[in-house]
Chains A and B, each alone.
Chain A
Amino acid sequence: MLDRSNSRRLTRSLVLVNDSPRSSSDTALSSTESGDCVIEAENLTKVYGGGTRALDNVSLRVPPGTIGLLGPNGAGKSTFIKCLLNLEPPTSGRARVLGRDIRTSNRESREKVGYSPEQDSHIPGMAGCEYVTYCGQLSGLSFKQARQRAHEILDLVGMGQERYRKIDTYSTGMKQRAKLAQALVHDPEIVFLDEPTNGLDPAGREYFLRLIGSLHRQLGISVVISSHLLNDIERICDRVIIIANGRVLEHDSLENLKNRHRRIVEVAPSGEAERFAAALLEAGYVFERRSNGRLRIESPEDSVEWLLELMRKHRLPPGEIVANPNALHELFLRALATDHGNRA
C-alpha cells in the first residue's frame, strides 16, 4: 500500500491554467494529515539587542493552505518567517514547522521547507540552472535528481535559455524566478515566500500569482506568502495572518474574516444616480457618494437581494454591483487601528 506522501509524489503533476475556484475536493493530499497544523507557535518572542521586540508572544496554529502574512513595514512578518526557519533564534517560546520543533530538530525542521527571501540572494558566479541544482543538492537531492528537478522547476517559473546565464547578470524579475525555483526544487511541503512579486513586470506578476495560487491546490505544497499587496493576498490566499508590532492581530480564513467585516455594497449606477440615491434614502439605507460616482452602501445582509428588489421596485436602471469591495484592505486598516487604540 502506498503511503500518502508516496502517492502524492507519484500522482501529482501541476498544470498551470487560469484560476479556478478553490474547493476542498481538488486540494491535493498533503503529507501532513488534514487537520494537522503546518505551523504551530507558542509564545514565540524575539527581542533584538536594544530591547526591540520584533515578535511579542506570538501563538497560533496554522493549517495547510495558502496563507497570507500581512502587516505594515517593520511589523515582524520577516522576523516571524526567519524565526520559523531558525535564521533568527527566538528569544523565548516554541515553534513547530511540519510537526518538528525548530530548536530540538534544527536541521530536520527545514528538510521539507522552501524559502524565498525578500532580498536578492544568490551564489555569485553560478548560472541559473547550476544554482538551482546546487540548492537541490544542499537539500539532500542527488546531483542527477537535482539537475532534473532544476530544469523542470525553471520551466515552471517561466525561465527559458536565461538559465544558462550567470545569475549575477539577471534582472530583478529573473532573480525572483530563480529564488522561487530554488525554494521549490527539493519538493518541499511548505514554502515561505517573502514579497515574491517584487520587481516583476505585470505579466510576470500575473504568472507568478497563478503559480503560487496553484501550489497548494494542485501540489499540496502549503504556502506562506508575506506581501504588502493586499489584492495579491486576497486573490490567492485562503487564510490570512495580520501582524503588527510583533503581535498577531488577526488569524482566520479569508472567508471568515470577510464575514466578520462590515457588509458593504458598491453600486455604479448606469444613469439616474440622483434617483438611485433618493430611493436608498427613502428606504432608510446608510450610504456615501464616492468621487467616481459610485454609491457605497452599508448592507443589512450578505446577499444583495434587497438591493435588486429596491431597483425593481423603483424601476431603476441596471448598474454594476460589487459586494465587499476592498474587504481585506478595510479589515487590515481596522485591525491596525484597533491595535493602535489598544496600545494607546
Chain B
Amino acid sequence: METALDLSRCREPLRGVVYRRWVIASTGLRQLFRGRFFVILLIVAWTTSLVMAAGGFVFSQTVVTGGWLEEGAKSLGVRAEALASAIGALVLLYPDICVRGLFMWMFWVQSYVGLGLSLIALTVLVPRLVARDRAGNALIIYLSRPLTSLDYLLGKLGTVAGLLVLLWTGPLLLGWLLSMLFAPNSDFFVYSLEPLLRALMFNGICLVVLATVALGVSALTRSSRTTIVLWMFLWIFMWGLGNGHRAPDWLRHSSLMLNISEVRASTLRLDAVFVDAAEKLPLIDQRVVENLRRSGEETSAKNLPGAVQALAGFVVLSSVVFLRKLRPE
C-alpha cells in the first residue's frame, strides 16, 4: 500500500477572516440554490422587478405630453382629449404627488412580494443555518479553525442577508433602475428617490429582524422538523392570534407579521401619499377626495413605538438564544 502526497502547492499565504466569513455565507447560499424550489422563487422575485419596470414604463409613456394617453384620447373626441390633457398636466404640475405616489405604491406592493418570498425561502433555510450544524456537531469544525463564534454568526447572517438581497432588495433596485432607464424626464428620478430610500430602509429593518430571528429559531433546537414548526408557529400562528378583532395589544405585538406591517406603514408612508393627494390635487369630485383620505387613514401606522419595541425584543431574545447555544457540544 503506497500513497504519495505532494504538498508543494500550498504556497499561497492564507487568506484573512473576511474571506472566511464570505466562504460561510456564499457556501450557505450555494447549497440553497441547488434546489429547484429556490430557483423558482428567484424567477418569481426577479419577474416582479420586470413587472415594476414595465409599470413605470407604461405610466411614464402614458402621461407624458404627447404620450399614449394623449394620442389615444384624440381619437375619442375633444372631451377625452381634454381629460387626458388634464391628467398629463396633473403629473406635470404635481410630480411630487403623482410620481412619488406611483413609486411608493409599487414599492409597497413589492414589499409584500419580497417579504412573502423571503419568508417562504427562510422556512426552508432556517434548519440549515444552525440546527443542522448542531445536529452534525459541525460547530466544532468551524470553531477549531481560525474562526470565532462572531465570524460564524456573521457568516450565517451573510447567508440570510444574501438570500434577502436576491429575493427582495435586488429585484427592488433592478425594477427601479429599469424604470429610470425609460423615464421621459428627470422628475421621475428625483421624485422616485424618496420612495426608493424608504423601501430600502424598510428592507434593511426587515433584513435585521428576519436574519436575527431566523438564526435564533435555528439555534433553538437540533431537529430540522422542530425548527420549521417553530418558525411557522412564530409567523403564521402568532399572526392569526394577533390579528383577531379583540386581540389585546400585547398579543398583537407578539406577532412578528403585525409588527412588521406597522413598520412598513410608517416607513413607506403610503398614507401620506393619499392624504397629500386628497389635500393638494385640484380634484373636483369630493367622493374621490374622501376615498383618498379614508385610504390614508387605513394605511397609516397605529402603534409604531409598540411595534418597534416588540421587534427589538425579538431581536434581543433571538441573539441571546443564538449566542448561548453557539458552543461546541
Q: Which residues of A contact B (CB under 8 A)?
A: 6, 9-17, 82, 85-87, 106-108, 110-111, 113, 115, 117, 119-126, 134-135, 137-142, 145, 148-149, 152-153, 155-156, 158, 168, 182, 186-187, 207, 211, 219
The answer on a CB contact under 8 Å between B5 and A140 is no
The answer on a CB contact under 8 Å between B7 and A139 is no
Contacts of A86 in B (CB 8 A): 143
Known contacts A13-B6, A17-B2: does B19 contact A140 (CB below 8 Å)? yes
Known contacts A140-B15, A207-B1: does B136 contact A10 (CB below 8 Å)? no
The answer on a CB contact under 8 Å between B10 and A145 is yes
Contacts of B145 in A (CB 8 A): 110, 135, 138-139, 186
The answer on a CB contact under 8 Å between A137 and B5 is no
The answer on a CB contact under 8 Å between B6 and A140 is no
The answer on a CB contact under 8 Å between B15 and A142 is yes
The answer on a CB contact under 8 Å between B4 and A15 is yes
Closest chain A residue to B14, Cβ basis: A140
The answer on a CB contact under 8 Å between B8 and A10 is yes
Contacts of A145 in B (CB 8 A): 9-10, 12
Q: Which of B9, B16, B133 contacts A149 (CB 8 A)?
A: B9
Closest chain A residue to B127, Cβ basis: A124
Contacts of A148 in B (CB 8 A): 9
Contacts of A158 in B (CB 8 A): 3
Least CB distance, A117 to chain B, in whole angstroms? 5
Q: Which of B12, B16, B31, B140 contacts A117 (CB 8 A)?
A: B140
Known contacts A123-B138, A137-B20: does B3 contact A110 (CB below 8 Å)? no
The answer on a CB contact under 8 Å between B147 and A138 is yes
Asked if B137 CB lies within 8 Å of chain A CBs, one says: yes
Least CB distance, B29 to chain A, in whole angstroms? 13
Contacts of A87 in B (CB 8 A): 140, 143-144, 328
Asked if B303 CB lies within 8 Å of chain A CBs, one says: no
Known contacts A120-B137, A125-B128, A138-B145: does B7 contact A107 (CB below 8 Å)? no
Asked if B17 CB lies within 8 Å of chain A CBs, one says: yes
Least CB distance, A115 to chain B, in whole angstroms? 4
Binary CB contact string for chain B from 130 to 150 against chain A (1 if under 8 A, 0 otherwise):
001101111011111111100
Binary CB contact string for chain B from 17 to 54 against chain A (1 if under 8 A, 0 otherwise):
10110011001000100000000000000000000000
Known contacts A121-B140, A125-B132: does B10 contact A140 (CB below 8 Å)? no
The answer on a CB contact under 8 Å between A140 and B16 is yes
